């Protein structure tokens, strides 16, 4: 209440923010102020943002003598204004800023940090979230989203920051005149796109009988999607209504390519023009969804399925596969890992969040192993690590090439997926999102997580548990004992079942949700699907009893 009072009574408070606060009920005010803003996607305003930037700036100044930061932003409400304010805050701390003068894909920000030899990066984006969201993500000198150990160092500096209302900021134009803010030059676009085009392995393929429908869902990939398709030589149709950057995402309920409803217009275009594949990227262009025409029907592939197909294609068609590593996460299907291991590649699973895959890419430098492929179930892929974040534009190139290659062999990607299932087992996955808003929802999520944290290694219904991994306390428990986990601490619990199935529970890092991941494997598709349904019902009934 003291904090709420301070904000309401601050005489120079931004007028729009003041009006918004005046309209909130007591419960809504409590939800807005019961905890401090964290990194990722959340409520944002210039004051909390200034405090975060002040802390980030002080962290950089302690670590580097003359740091520089690259700043990018997406098409969301206030993204540009927030990005400007980031630059003003850092400029006042005498930190050099490279500023993208237009909306920019998140993966390009990652590339630009390393290319410009900056010591940090900022992108203002809420990725695939609804239009009322915005977010703040910070990157290290390697173009990788900061991992928790580094974030904690930044948070320590934020704690030392002055009151958010009284942090000094510079004048943007004046900072430009003295060279403290410099606009990123067009050559960064050209260099990035040249590298993106190079992720394909068969650019010489005949492309005349192949058509792509592409939509950026009103986001930043509108800048490069068409240019890339032209450069790599594909025939394409653009979903014109969604090529316009629109912070309201007016043609979709939810600008997430994981959601089949986001493909509504793409499906219409596909049916009209008889396209072979449909591609949709999320607003900050780090995720991509792929829908495939098979027997007259478009099938939206899951992130796990797309990842497995792209990996299968690379392994079978890439020349001279040397010692390499495939990266996934603890909630990614086991299917890709099986494909990789049979081919003699190493597989490393990280915590959820592409920052951990980006971190591992750095660790590979100077070793005898190459980064072969990285992906996660939530539609994030990277083919080559000149980007240390997921990159929908790299994936766009490879999706087109793989689908075209198999079409020339008389196969659709659905038929290729069936071929993979027959070789490696039928894998089925499902993600259940429990929406739990505000302080009350946060408390409920903690209660559920604590229940499963205390759950013994026994069984879920008729499914026997072989092991439980608790990433918060970093232990693996089996009937024979407890052993340590080497991954960083994170509020994630994974249960392994004796039949090869698994269940993961974790609170979302960006939304008021509890995420429940389910995976099964069987010798038939029907059996794998039946297992998923049964396992989901068991877990949800257990959660209902938690109350």
The tens digit of pLDDT for each residue in 204-222 reads 999 999 999 999 999 999 9
pLDDT tier at 8, thresholds 50, 70, 90: low
Q: How confident is the model at residue 36 (pLDDT cuts 50, 70, 90)?
A: low
Q: Determine whether domain 426-546 maps to CATH 3.90.1150.10.
A: no
- Residue 5 pLDDT more than 70? no
Helix (H) / strand (E) element for 73: namely strand 68-73
Whether the per-residue pLDDT at 31 is higher than 80: the answer is no
With a threshold of 0.85, does the pTM exceed it?
A: yes
Predicted confidence at residue 35, as pLDDT, reads 59
pLDDT value for 9: 64
Integer Cα distance of 76 and 37 in angstroms = 19
Band of the pLDDT at 29, cuts 50, 70, 90?
low
What pLDDT is stored for residue 11 in this prediction? 61
Q: Is the pLDDT of residue 74 over 70?
A: yes
pLDDT of residue 441: 85
Window from 30-39, 171-180, 284-293, 313-322 with minimum mean pLDDT: 30-39
| Confidence at residue 322, expressed as pLDDT on a 0 to 100 scale | 87
Cα Rg of the chain (Å, integer): 24
Confidence of residue 139 (pLDDT cuts 50, 70, 90): very high
pLDDT of residue 12: 64
Verify whether residue 127 is a known catalytic residue.
yes
Third-level CATH fold of 35-185: Alpha-D-Glucose-1,6-Bisphosphate; Chain A, domain 3 (3.40.120)
- Residue 302 or residue 438, greater confidence: 302
Indicate whether 37 pLDDT > 60. Answer: no
Identify the pLDDT of residue 529.
97
Confidence of residue 319 (pLDDT cuts 50, 70, 90): confident
Question: Are 143 and 176 spatial neighbours (Cβ–Cβ below 8 Å)?
Answer: no
pLDDT for position 27: 65
pLDDT (mean) for 407-423: 98
Tell me the HSE value of 456 on the side-chain side, using a 13 A CA sphere: 4
| Residue predicted with more confidence, 33 or 424 | 424
Nearest to 309 by CA among 282, 277, 349: 277
Distances (CA, A) of 25 to 8, 16, 30, 31, 446: 13, 17, 9, 10, 25
Mean local confidence (pLDDT), 238-262: 96
Contacts of 194 (CB under 8 A, 6+ apart): none
pLDDT reported for residue 440: 83
Q: Which CATH class is domain 192-424?
A: alpha beta
- Of 110, 127, 392, 490, catalytic: 127
Which positions ≥6 away from 450 have C-beta within 8 Å?
none
Return the ∠ at Cα 351 (arms to 347 and 353), rounded to 5°.
105
Question: What pLDDT is stored for residue 7 in this prediction?
Answer: 63
Q: What is the mean pLDDT of residues 344-366?
A: 95
| Residue ranges of the chain assigned to CATH 3.40.120.10 | 35-185, 192-424
Distance, CA of 402 to CA of 307 (rounded, Å): 12
Higher pLDDT, 21 or 307: 307
List of residues 6+ apart from 338 with CB closer than 8 A: 424, 425
Query: Mean of the pLDDT values across residues 488-496?
Result: 96
> What is the average pLDDT value for the chain, to the nearest integer?
93
Q: Is the pLDDT of residue 105 over 80?
A: yes
The residue with greater pLDDT, 513 or 195, is 195
Is 516 in contact with 417 (CB distance < 8 Å)?
no
Question: What is the pLDDT, as a whole number, of residue 19?
Answer: 67
C-alpha 448/C-alpha 503 separation (Å) is 14
pLDDT value of residue 512? 78
């Amino acid at each position: 209440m003291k904090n709420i009072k301070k904000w309401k009574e601050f005489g120079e408070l931004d007028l729009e923010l003041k009006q918004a606060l005046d309209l909130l009920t007591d419960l809504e005010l409590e939800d807005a102020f019961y905890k401090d803003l964290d990194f990722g996607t959340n409520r944002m305003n210039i004051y909390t943002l200034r405090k975060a930037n002040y802390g980030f700036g002080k962290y950089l100044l302690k670590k580097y003598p003359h740091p520089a930061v690259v700043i990018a932003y997406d098409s969301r409400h206030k993204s540009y204004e927030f990005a400007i304010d980031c630059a003003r805050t850092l400029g006042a701390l005498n930190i050099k800023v490279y500023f993208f003068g237009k909306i920019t894909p998140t993966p390009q920000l990652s590339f630009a940090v390393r290319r410009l030899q900056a010591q940090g990066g900022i992108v203002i984006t809420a990725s695939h979230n609804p239009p009322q969201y915005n977010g703040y993500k910070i990157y290290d000198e390697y173009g990788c989203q900061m991992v928790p150990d580094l974030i904690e160092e930044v948070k320590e500096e934020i704690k030392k920051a002055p009151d958010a209302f009284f942090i000094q900021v510079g004048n943007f134009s004046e900072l430009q005149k003295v060279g403290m803010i410099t606009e990123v030059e067009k050559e960064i676009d050209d260099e990035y796109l040249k590298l993106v085009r190079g992720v394909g392995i068969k650019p010489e393929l005949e492309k005349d009988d192949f058509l792509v429908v592409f939509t950026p869902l009103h986001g930043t990939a509108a800048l490069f999607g068409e240019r890339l398709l032209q450069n790599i030589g594909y025939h394409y149709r653009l979903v014109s209504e969604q090529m316009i950057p629109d912070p309201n995402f007016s043609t979709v309920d939810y600008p997430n390519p994981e959601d089949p409803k986001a493909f509504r217009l793409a499906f219409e275009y596909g049916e009209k023009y008889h396209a072979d594949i449909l591609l949709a990227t999320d607003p900050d262009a780090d995720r991509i969804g792929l829908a495939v025409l098979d027997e007259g029907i478009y099938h939206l592939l899951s992130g796990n399925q797309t990842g497995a197909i792209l990996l299968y294609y690379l392994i079978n068609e890439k020349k001279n596969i040397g010692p390499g590593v495939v990266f996934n996460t603890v909630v990614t299907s086991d299917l890709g890992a099986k494909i990789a291991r049979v081919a003699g590649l190493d597989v490393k699973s990280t915590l959820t969040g592409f920052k951990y895959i980006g971190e591992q890419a750095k660790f590979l430098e100077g070793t005898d192993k190459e980064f072969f492929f990285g992906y996660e179930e939530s539609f994030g892929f990277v083919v080559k690590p000149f980007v240390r974040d997921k990159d929908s534009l790299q994936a766009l190139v490879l999706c087109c090439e793989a689908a075209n290659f198999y079409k020339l062999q008389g196969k659709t990607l659905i038929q290729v997926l069936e071929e993979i299932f027959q070789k490696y087992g039928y894998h089925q996955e499902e993600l259940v999102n429990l929406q739990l808003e505000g302080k009350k929802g946060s408390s409920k999520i903690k209660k559920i997580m604590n229940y499963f944290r205390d759950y013994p290694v026994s069984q879920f219904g008729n499914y026997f548990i072989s092991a439980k991994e608790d990433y918060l306390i970093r232990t693996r428990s089996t009937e024979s004992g407890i052993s340590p986990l080497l991954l960083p601490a994170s509020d994630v619990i994974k249960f392994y079942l004796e039949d090869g199935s698994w269940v993961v529970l974790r609170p979302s890092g960006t939304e008021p949700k509890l995420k429940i991941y389910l995976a099964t494997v069987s010798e038939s598709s029907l059996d794998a699907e039946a297992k998923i349904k049964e396992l989901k019902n068991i877990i949800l009934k257990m959660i209902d009893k938690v109350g």
